[in-house]
């Protein structure tokens, strides 16, 4: 009953997204505040740009708009989705760590739930997805990239989940996302080290699929990847993708509350709060 | 209790094979109608050839004879099993899609059960197994090849599970079979694309282990692989193989009915029937 | 609740180790009889040497002392642990097979439980771990090496799990340990063949990470690996390592008795006893 469960899964997931809060309705369906959607009329491919200066930090609002945009692109039956950044230096700097510093628990629960929602929306998106990584992509920026099916990256950038460097312990589904792309041995070592890969290192281990010299070329390579599905049946493709990704999401979907509780319990420990404080101080000094 | 469960598993699996139907008894144990078994007296290796013109389509009958032959080779305690084709152009063209076109449900259930049986018989075969892929090996032809422990392929052929191209969604155990050979990232992309690998591409990703210039050389390389087990204890080898493969088959063995229901439910959807119709029309036109 | 479970897991695991037997207390915390601990005052890294002539066979006593030493190094909050051998020809020859020959069942249960304990202690050790493999490393010697996070090996040695060559069937958690380092396809084939990899072959498949020309250089490369964690938070690193390794140990931790029973049932079969007898005869003749 996997195929049926998967179809049901889609139905079940959607109402869960954003925990029952209504998504901001869009006037003309083309843009929301912090994201931009551009649909190429010839190819039918939608380019979704993160557009929150200065570094596309995944705030509550940016995540809201990303989920909204992904859903919109999916329901418009675009031919594919390319995730990129309006900012030429940073793809996304990752989660808004200020939400984790001395957090009010209810707000933290809302924040983490939204991140779960965003990852599920992208990881299980029925359309072909690709990331044109035109800037640094640390932490949750990397998690978003690995939730796509293909990654093209510009030279001399950094990508990776460096959570152990700011005392954070990622969730198992984030590890699964990494492991869907990298060998088991590479995953453990990189997560333990909090490794940030250069573009070339990322290509060598398979974390990215191609290097492009410009954002334009990256978008073009992503479009070429999406075109490799032209001869497939879109529904069969979507169900096959979800079958492949079902083991990655199974535990989270079966018990989202457990993942949430675990995150809240850890984030509110003095250990993490001290580590985060020191990390944020360090970032300030670098500026 | 894994080792015990595995030994039990063997006992449990066997009566399930072919859903209780009695297998055709063979007069001299050397041949059945659609398959040929040749045992090399010196090496003790049995070569099992598929022999159904024109393209070794896995019909109900060919699958029956394959299961029968695998069981016979196993119970004769041959030193190993090499699967190959009598046809120099096609190893196997895959499942008989006519069984899926406007199927009578009871017949479809029998057909799919037999395919499950065939895969289990080959995937869990206690002997060393290798495939001498001397012709194209698409779809279920590729699944049979990946159920073996080693693959040697002739140049300029195609191999891969291209189900999404004819609207089919494979079962999870077929994905597991692919994933026992290929990295997770390669599996998802290839299944989504319905990718057919050339011989060289298949070698590069690890879908096949060696290239041979002739069928004779392929058979010889397969025999050399089987000889690598000469210093091992056959029972310990068999139990070790089954331990490695147990995660691949666990879900199917625990609930074969669920996989069957899922297949029947999907195959009988208008979506699949339309996709299959268009695919079969396309094949006719190419001829 | 994974992170909590992991923290609990640590608590839960520790009392289980050595099945409630009290560990020999160490006078000055620096040495035990069959192992030596040397802590580098500058780096804070502890080097743990196996020191049981002639070939570091994992006897009941050596395993006891290894567990004791690992626990001691961990509780002393060393910066990392390097496992090596005092013997320049053999890292460890593996389990004491005499314990498996015509065993008294209660003694065998104690022996296997201690091996489970040893593997758990090393595989889940909170510190960064590396193996300086300065001698041959067959069977359980290889299992200990793969339980570490990094492996540096001297040239012209052998490493691998060759259990099928002496009729043994390893436990699933030993397979998981192998698979945490090697691709699935390589694991099955190597286990089935009972393959012993040369140093160069081990490097090529990823079973070891680096080759060193001397023991000194191997220790130095291990220390360099341990230094890659300098910028990480040690608690976050430890929890992340355990999250990565949790799937490897889950089944064993959930039902250690089942693994024990399975081992005892298999070891006491005539099949295994005959195979082991022949293997031990063969070893004697070679001497």
> Which strands, in side-by-side order, build the sheet including C137-138?
C137-138, C158-160, C197-198
Residues of A in contact with C150 (CB under 8 A): 189
Parallel, antiparallel or unpaired: strands A151-153 and A94-95: unpaired
Q: Kindly determine whether residue B244 and residue C194, on different chains, have CB atoms separated by under 8 Å.
A: no
- C-alpha distance from A254 to closest chain C C-alpha (Å): 13
| A234: CB partners within 8 A, 6+ apart | A126
What's the pLDDT band for B77 if we cut at 50, 70, 90?
Answer: confident
The residues with which A83 forms a beta bridge, in sequence order, are A48, A131
Nearest CA in chain C to A257: C1
Please report how the helices C140-147 and C105-123 are oriented relative to each other, as an axis angle in degrees rounded to 10.
30
Cα C170 from Cα C141, distance rounded (Å) = 13
Instruction: Specify if B208 maps to a domain.
Output: yes
Q: DSSP assignment of C55-78, as one string?
A: T-EE-HHHHHHHHHHHHHHHHTT-
Whether the predicted pLDDT of B3 surpasses 60 = no
Which of A138, A169, A186, A259 is the mutation pick for testing C, counting most C CBs within 10 A? Answer: A169
Instruction: Specify if B19 maps to a domain.
Output: no
The residues with which C49 forms a beta bridge, in sequence order, are C36, C84
Per-residue pLDDT tens over the stretch C194-205: 999 999 999 999
Whether the predicted pLDDT of B6 surpasses 70 = no
**CB-CB: which of C183, C236, C245 is closest to A169?**
C236
| C224: CB partners within 8 A, 6+ apart | none
Pair of tokens at residue A7: 């179809």
Nearest CA in chain B to A248: B184
Residues of A in contact with C7 (CB under 8 A): none
Residues of B within an 8 Å Cβ radius of C: 1-4, 128, 149-150, 179-183, 206, 228-229, 231-233, 235-237, 239-241, 243-245
Whether the predicted pLDDT of C26 surpasses 80 = no
Residues of C within an 8 Å Cβ radius of A: 1-4, 128, 149-150, 179-183, 206, 228-229, 231-233, 235-237, 239-241, 243-246
Q: Kindly determine whether residue A229 and residue B165, on different chains, have CB atoms separated by under 8 Å.
A: no
Instruction: Specify if C104 maps to a domain.
Output: yes
Q: DSSP assignment of B196-240, as one string?
A: PEEHHHHHHHTSSSEE-SSHHHHHHHHHHHHHTTTTS-HHHHHHH
- C-alpha distance from B64 to closest chain C C-alpha (Å): 28
Q: Kindly determine whether residue C262 and residue B4, on different chains, have CB atoms separated by under 8 Å.
A: yes
Cα C179 from Cα C176, distance rounded (Å) = 5
pLDDT score of A287 = 67
**CB-CB: which of C168, C192, C258 is closest to B229?**
C192
Cα A208 from Cα A152, distance rounded (Å) = 6
Instruction: Specify if B20 maps to a domain.
Output: no
Cα C23 from Cα B5, distance rounded (Å) = 35
The complex's ipTM works out to 0.90
Whether the predicted pLDDT of C121 surpasses 60 = yes
Which of C240, C241, C248 is the mutation pick for testing A, counting most A CBs within 10 A? Answer: C240
Residues of B in contact with A240 (CB under 8 A): 163-164, 169-170, 191-192
Q: Are B50 and B66 in contact (CB under 8 A)?
A: yes
**Structural domain tally of chain C?**
1
Cα A22 from Cα A253, distance rounded (Å) = 21
Torsion of CA A57, A59, A61, A63, to 10 degrees: 80
Cα B179 from Cα B248, distance rounded (Å) = 9
Best CA proximity match to B160, nearest among B178, B173, B147: B178
Q: Kindly determine whether residue C191 and residue B244, on different chains, have CB atoms separated by under 8 Å.
A: yes
pLDDT score of B235 = 96
Q: Kindly determine whether residue A275 and residue C236, on different chains, have CB atoms separated by under 8 Å.
A: yes
Per-residue pLDDT tens over the stretch C164-179: 999 999 999 999 999 9
What's the pLDDT band for B1 if we cut at 50, 70, 90?
Answer: very low
Boundaries of domain holding A140 = 31-285
Residues of B in contact with A239 (CB under 8 A): 169
Pair of tokens at residue C149: 């996070």
pLDDT tens, residue order, chain A (287 aa): 344 444 433 333 333 333 333 333 333 344 458 999 999 999 999 999 999 999 999 999 999 999 999 999 999 989 999 999 999 999 999 999 999 999 999 999 999 999 999 999 999 999 999 999 999 999 999 999 999 999 999 999 999 999 999 999 999 999 999 999 999 999 999 999 999 999 999 999 999 999 999 999 999 999 999 999 999 999 999 999 999 999 999 999 999 999 999 999 999 999 999 999 999 998 888 76
CATH at C88: 3.90.226.10
Cα C80 from Cα B54, distance rounded (Å) = 64
Cα C205 from Cα C222, distance rounded (Å) = 19
> Interface partners of B (3+ CB pairs, < 8 Å)?
A, C
pLDDT score of C220 = 98
pTM to 2 decimals? 0.90
Q: Are B139 and B164 in contact (CB under 8 A)?
A: no
% pLDDT > 70, chain C = 89
> Interface partners of C (3+ CB pairs, < 8 Å)?
A, B
B103 CB neighbour count, 10 Å cutoff: 17
Count how many pairs of residues, chain A against chain B, have C-beta atoms within 8 Å.
76
pLDDT score of C33 = 84
Q: Kindly determine whether residue C4 and residue A265, on different chains, have CB atoms separated by under 8 Å.
A: yes
> Interface partners of A (3+ CB pairs, < 8 Å)?
B, C
Count how many pairs of residues, chain A against chain C, have C-beta atoms within 8 Å.
78
Which of A161, A184, A282 is the mutation pick for testing C, counting most C CBs within 10 A? Answer: A184
In chain C, alpha helices (H): 2-16, 60-75, 105-123, 140-147, 172-179, 184-193, 199-205, 215-227, 234-254, 256-267, 270-286
Instruction: Specify if A251 maps to a domain.
Output: yes
| B34: CB partners within 8 A, 6+ apart | B50, B51, B52, B61, B62, B65, B66
Instruction: Specify if B94 maps to a domain.
Output: yes
Instruction: Specify if A18 maps to a domain.
Output: no
pLDDT score of C285 = 86
Measure Cα distances from A74 to A14, A45, A48, A125, A221 in Å: 12, 11, 12, 7, 21
**CA angle (C148, C153, C159) in 5-degree steps:** 80
Instruction: Specify if A21 maps to a domain.
Output: no
């Amino acid at each position: 009953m996997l195929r049926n469960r998967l179809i049901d899964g889609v139905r079940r997931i959607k109402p869960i997204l954003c925990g029952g809060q209504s998504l901001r309705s869009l006037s003309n369906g083309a843009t929301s505040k912090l994201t931009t959607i551009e649909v190429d009329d010839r190819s039918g491919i939608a380019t979704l740009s993160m557009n929150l200066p200065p570094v596309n930090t995944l705030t509550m609002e940016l995540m809201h708009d990303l989920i909204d945009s992904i859903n919109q692109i999916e329901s418009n039956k675009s031919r594919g989705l390319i995730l990129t950044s309006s900012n030429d230096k940073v793809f996304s700097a990752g989660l808004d760590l200020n939400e984790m510093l001395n957090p009010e628990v209810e707000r933290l629960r809302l924040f983490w739930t939204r991140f779960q929602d965003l990852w599920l929306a992208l990881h299980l998106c029925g359309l072909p997805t690709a990331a044109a990584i035109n800037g640094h992509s640390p932490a949750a920026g990397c998690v978003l990239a690995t939730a796509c099916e293909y990654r093209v990256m510009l030279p001399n950038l950094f990508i990776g989940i460096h959570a152990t460097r700011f005392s954070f312990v990622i969730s198992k589904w984030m590890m699964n996302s990494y492991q869907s792309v990298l060998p088991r041995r590479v995953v453990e070592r990189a997560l333990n080290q909090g490794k940030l890969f250069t573009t070339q290192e990322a290509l060598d281990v398979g974390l990215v699929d191609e290097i492009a010299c410009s954002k334009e070329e990256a978008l073009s390579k992503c479009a070429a990847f999406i075109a490799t599905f032209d001869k497939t049946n879109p529904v069969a493709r979507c169900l096959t993708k979800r079958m492949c990704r079902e083991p990655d999401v199974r535990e989270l979907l079966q018990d989202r509350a457990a993942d949430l509780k675990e995150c809240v319990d850890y984030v509110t420990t003095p250990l993490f709060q001290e580590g985060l404080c020191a990390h944020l101080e360090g970032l300030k000094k670098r500026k």
